[in-house]
Structure 1
Amino acid sequence: MTADKLLVARIGKPHGLRGEVTVQLHTDEPERRFVPGEQLDTEAAPGSGVPKRLTIRSTRDHNGTWLLAFEEIPDRTGAEGLRGTRLLIDESAATVDEEEAWFEDDLVGLEVRDGEGAVIGVVTGLDLGAAQDRLVVRLTDGVTVQVPFVEAIVPTVTADHVVVVAPPGLFDLYREPGA
């Protein structure tokens, strides 16, 4: 992703026959960001055939899942080809909320430290949830855990690390019994 672009959504699976797709949101303002006629830049795998820009044809919330359709994609076959495509906006078009947000690309690779500053792992992803986002962290012992990305548990995010103050037993949920 280029430095002057911000990720606002990632396209998931097709929905129906008319080219709609599910999207994993990376914006707090989908109603404002995804309006018919709006053009979004794309980032897709090389050779995928995904257009460099997509124009929103329609948008709707379907049982808590956002569905988008694009002028350039008329049917389910075309929608299937969009899977995994990132939808981007110019950084200059970002709102204050988006500018203050942390995006997956900003977080992956950051050291994870405990409250005393000891390194306990590295961020490997961000899992966006309907109720709450979760940092995906690979601990130093190789166990992968998910940490609720809330200020009470992740009070500090800097350019090179995050601090995780895990409640007792959080990491034990991911370990084999007796390990």
Structure 2
Amino acid sequence: MELVIGRIAKSHGIKGEVVVDVRTDEPDDRFAVGTVIHGRKPRVTTDTAPYTVEAAREHSGRLLLRLEGIGTREAADALRGTLFVIESDDLEPSDDPDEFYDHELEGLTVRLVDGDTVGTVREVLHSAAGELLSIRPADGSRTELLVPFVAAIVTSVSLADKTVTIDPPEGLLDPE
């Protein structure tokens, strides 16, 4: 399974640098100078192309990369939207029992503490305010429910049972 570790948001400057929205907990390792990363255009193809990181630096809270062979603003602009991906088989298992990779949560059944089924985790969304579980409701009444992935609401995750148990505050799961 392919996992996204970053996305090129835009070009930066005139020498081909790109701004990367990081989607990994290990950006220093994943985007280290000399590392070959694989990128693909979203929704266009599943084929990936290799890119070698020539330089990496932080700028205003964002990651800037210079990739080998990308030396102009135009070349960098052409990469906008490119997703950097890795294979899930390449990941080391987490030592922390309360830490999960996004792909481990996607597809799990979400239940309330009383056992009622809420739906299925579609994806994990990363925002400035924290992680959210995007849930496809079991009754099909809405396209998506968003539940903050915090200990006060997500009471347990069982990969073995393929379930996430939540105890949401009143109104969180109610439509508008």
Shared fold by TM > 0.5?
yes
Question: Which of 100, 104, 107 in structure 1 is aligned with 2:105?
Answer: 107
Residues 102 and 72 (structure 1), Cα distance of their counterparts in 2 relative to 1, 3 Å cut: same
Give secondary structure in 1 for the equivalent of 2:28. Answer: helix
Distance 1:70 1:97 in 2: 32
Structure 1 distance, partners of 2:157, 2:63, is: 30
Structure 1 residues 15 and 156, CA gap change in structure 2 (3 angstroms)? same
Paired with 2:51 and 2:16, the residues of 1 have a C-alpha distance of: 12
Return the offset for 1:76. Answer: 3.1
Q: Which has the higher strand share?
A: 2
Q: Provide the C-alpha distance between the structure 1 equivalents of 2:91 and 2:143, rounded to a whole number of angstroms.
A: 39
Please state how far the C-alpha of 1:136 moved relative to its aligned partner: 1.4
User: How many Å separate the matches in 1 of 2:57 and 2:95?
Assistant: 22
Match of 1:119 among 117, 120, 143: 117
| Residue number among 104, 119, 130 corresponding to 2:128 in the alignment | 130
The answer for the alignment partner of 1:163 in structure 2 is 165
Q: TM-score, normalised by structure 1?
A: 0.73
Percent of residue pairs identical? 34
Q: Return the offset for 1:56.
A: 0.9
1:31 correspondence with 2:28: yes
Kept in 2: contact 1:136–1:145 (CA 8 A): yes
Counterpart residue type for residue 165 of structure 2: V
The amino acid that maps onto 1:34 is: F
Q: How many residues align?
A: 170
User: Are the structure 2 counterparts of residues 69 and 87 from structure 1 closer, same or farther at C-alpha, using a change threshold of 3 Å?
Assistant: farther
Q: Which amino acid in 2 is paired with 1:54?
A: Y
Q: How many Å separate the matches in 1 of 2:41 and 2:96?
A: 22
Unaligned runs of 5+ in 2: none
1:43 and 1:88 in contact (8 A); partners too: no
Deviations 1:81-139 (A, max 9, x none): 43142332674464746995322x43333322111221112222221123411111233
One of 59, 63, 66 as aligned partner of 1:66 = 63
Match of 2:39 in 1: 42
Structure 1, unpaired ranges of 5+:
none
Q: Is the 1:10–1:84 Cα contact (8 Å) retained in structure 2?
A: yes
Alpha-carbon distance, 1:37 to partner: 1.0
Check the 8 A contact 2:104/2:159 in 1, yes or no. Answer: no
CA gap of 1:93–1:144, structure 2 versus 1, over 3 A, is: closer
Deviates more, 1:29-38 or 1:74-83: 74-83
Aligned-residue Cα RMSD (Å) equals: 3.3
Question: Does the CA-based 8 Å contact 2:107-2:120 persist in structure 1?
Answer: yes
Give the aligned residue type for 2:171.
G
Which residue in the other structure is 2:152 paired with?
152
